[in-house]
Amino acid sequence: MSAKIQRLAEIDRIIHEPGRLMIVALLAAVQEADFQYLRQATGLTQGNLSAHLSKLEEARYVAIEKTFRGKYPLTICRLTDRGREVLDTYRKVIKSAL
What domains are defined for the chain?
Answer: 3-96 (1.10.10.10)
Q: Determine the pLDDT at residue 8.
A: 81
pTM: 0.90
Q: Is 97 helix (H, G, I), strand (E, B) or coil?
A: coil
Q: Residue 83: phi, psi to the nearest 5?
A: -60, -40
Binned at pLDDT 50, 70 and 90, residue 1 comes out as low
- Across the chain, mean pLDDT equals 93
Non-local CB neighbours of 7 within 8 Å, separated by 6+ positions: 93, 96, 97
Picking from 1-5, 47-51, 83-87, which range would have the lowest pLDDT averaged per residue?
A: 1-5
Average pLDDT over residues 7-15: 87
